Amino acid sequence: MKATRRHWGALGIFGALALAAGSVQAQNHPGVTDKEVLICSYQPMTGSTSSYFRMGKGADAWFKHVNENGGVHGRKINFNMVDDKYEPARTAGIVKRFAERDNCFAIVAPLGSAPTVAVIDYVAEQKVPLIGPGTGAGKVLEYPSKWVFPLYPSYKDEGKDLVRFVKEVFKARTVAVLYQNDPSGKTHMEGIRAVLAQHGVTLVAEQGYEPKEVDVSSQVLTMKNANPDAVICSCAPEPAAKFYTERKKLAWNVPVVNVFFGKSPKVPELAGKDAVEGVYFATIFRDFDSPAAQIQEALRVLKKYYPQEDPDAIHLWGFTGAQVFTEALKRMGRDNVTRERLVETLEGMKGWKGSVVPEVNIGKGNAPEHLLVRDMSYVVYKGGKFVEFVPPWVK
């Protein structure tokens, strides 16, 4: 009889432990198993904007580094990148699979304004955290949802800053703009138009190009004929390079400032160093030649996993989202890894200096309070490299 009681008692204890273990596991959200956390990302791995895939490679390099060093609390990070070719309709289908078939825990470091604008309503509705998307489109930056954590400041704010830049640095009274005809370029234009009168600057020409378009020669000729004092180039690296090639061909020495998403070694590589000499670029990240330990670690990691890459700021976009996500995962601990707790943990990151960003301060609320990067600065391409430039209002 006593043996029977001991038998049933042991079974009872075993059952209770099993239920407890099952309860802990049940608290973890889809995508979280005992051995891994599945996160996803859409990237332009092929197509006309594939140079931006550098963002995905940066994030992937970091997660490979984390996994090689044991993962986080015994779990490896499974980073699933899918090629959307920077085509919003394709992105929509991919993200639906992320949420409904793959059960991704979060979407981390995806790339693109038009793709993100196309899916953000669905992502927020599904309550999937969107961390560090590579876009400054107004809809994303202003999105009224706690599930959205934008990477960097609004293109609208950047557009405003660039008008101030051409006025105070170039002493321009007239300006022409070349912009990408998608949410990124349109948001830049919104910011530019908002402050022209305030700075006494007149817009004499605005020329758009389609995201898949590389040849902008006709737009450049139209802008030159408008005879502006300065040009704002809201351009991705490939069209930017074409702009500088055409500008040189026309012997048009107008001063130019380029938006930060066009700052890349690809520009002088494609256009030639002489064509880009003296061009100013907005930027939000330190360069890889910075002595900061976090930047040098990122450089070592990138070179280890993607040795063929020429390191630039767009790789750092990916590192930022990946590092912030990894830090949040560490802070959550091993149990009860849920999307709700991920959001709460991210909102608790104040004064964190462990990433390629000098300091991460994430507020509580919706997208406008959730920026991973808040400050913008400038460089000028001079003597074959990007050199820091401090505008007058910062001195």
250 and 310: one domain?
Answer: no
Mode of pairing for the β-strands spanning 377-382 and 280-283: antiparallel
Domain termination site, one of 283, 303, 318 = 283
Radius of gyration of the chain (CA): 24
pLDDT digits (tens, 9 = 90+) for 290-348: 888 999 999 999 999 999 999 988 999 999 999 999 999 999 999 999 999 999 999 99
In a domain, 131, yes or no: yes
pLDDT digits (tens, 9 = 90+) for 268-296: 999 999 999 999 999 887 778 888 899 99
Secondary structure (DSSP) of 159-207: HHHHHHHHHHTS--SEEEEEEESSHHHHHHHHHHHHHHHHHT-EEEEEE
**Among the listed residues 45, 51, 49, 55, the one whose alpha carbon sits nearest the alpha carbon of residue 212:** 49
In a domain, 146, yes or no: yes
Confidence band of 7 (pLDDT split at 50, 70, 90)? very low
CA dihedral 352, 358, 362, 368 (to 10 degrees): 180
- Would you say residue 240 has pLDDT above 70? yes
Domain termination site, one of 222, 251, 283 = 283
226 and 303: one domain?
Answer: no
Secondary structure (DSSP) of 337-351: --HHHHHHHHHT--S
Domain that holds residue 66: 36-153+289-369
273 and 169: one domain?
Answer: yes
| Residue 394 main-chain phi, psi, to 5 deg | -95, -25
Q: Which tokens in the block code for residue 301?
A: 């990691």
Q: Which tokens in the block code for residue 158?
A: 């950047």
Q: Which tokens in the block code for residue 227?
A: 């005879």
| Predicted local distance difference test score (pLDDT) of residue 395 | 63
Picking from 28-37, 56-65, 122-131, 281-290, which range would have the lowest pLDDT averaged per residue? 281-290
In a domain, 6, yes or no: no
For residues 140 and 287, what is the distance between their CA atoms, to the nearest angstrom? 26
Q: Which tokens in the block code for residue 171?
A: 């002493």
Question: Pick the residue with more confidence: 184 or 85?
Answer: 85
228 and 337: one domain?
Answer: no
Task: Name the domain count of the chain.
Answer: 2
Confidence band of 27 (pLDDT split at 50, 70, 90)? low
148 and 293: one domain?
Answer: yes
Secondary structure (DSSP) of 102-162: S--SEEES-B-HHHHHHHHHHHHHTT--EE--B---HHHHT---TTEE-SS--HHHHHHHH
| Residue 208 main-chain phi, psi, to 5 deg | -100, 160
In a domain, 59, yes or no: yes
Q: Of all helices (H) and strands (E), which one includes residue 302? A: helix 293-305
- Would you say residue 178 has pLDDT above 50? yes
- Would you say residue 22 has pLDDT above 70? no
| Residue 111 main-chain phi, psi, to 5 deg | -120, 135
Q: Of all helices (H) and strands (E), which one includes residue 80? A: strand 76-83
48 and 147: one domain?
Answer: yes
- Would you say residue 17 has pLDDT above 80? no
For residues 260 and 134, what is the distance between their CA atoms, to the nearest angstrom? 12
Confidence band of 211 (pLDDT split at 50, 70, 90)? confident
Residues 6+ apart with CB under 8 A from 185: 155, 179, 208, 234
| Predicted local distance difference test score (pLDDT) of residue 53 | 96
278 and 331: one domain?
Answer: no
In a domain, 58, yes or no: yes
65 and 177: one domain?
Answer: no
Domain termination site, one of 226, 254, 283 = 283
For residues 123 and 121, what is the distance between their CA atoms, to the nearest angstrom? 6
In a domain, 349, yes or no: yes
In a domain, 57, yes or no: yes
| Predicted local distance difference test score (pLDDT) of residue 28 | 72
* The model's pTM: 0.75
**Among the listed residues 381, 372, 109, the one whose alpha carbon sits nearest the alpha carbon of residue 263:** 381
- Would you say residue 138 has pLDDT above 60? yes
Residues 6+ apart with CB under 8 A from 32: 38, 75, 105, 337
Mode of pairing for the β-strands spanning 377-382 and 385-389: antiparallel
141 and 222: one domain?
Answer: no
| Residue 267 main-chain phi, psi, to 5 deg | -65, -55
CB 82 within 8 Å of CB 40: yes
238 and 187: one domain?
Answer: yes
Q: Which tokens in the block code for residue 230?
A: 């300065």
270 and 203: one domain?
Answer: yes
**Among the listed residues 152, 135, 124, the one whose alpha carbon sits nearest the alpha carbon of residue 186:** 135
| Predicted local distance difference test score (pLDDT) of residue 221 | 97
In a domain, 29, yes or no: no
244 and 301: one domain?
Answer: no
How far from chain centre, in Å, is Cα 357?
12
CATH number at residue 274: 3.40.50.2300
Other beta carbons within 10 angstroms of residue 166's beta carbon come to 25
Q: What percent of the chain has pLDDT over 90?
A: 77
Confidence band of 20 (pLDDT split at 50, 70, 90)? very low
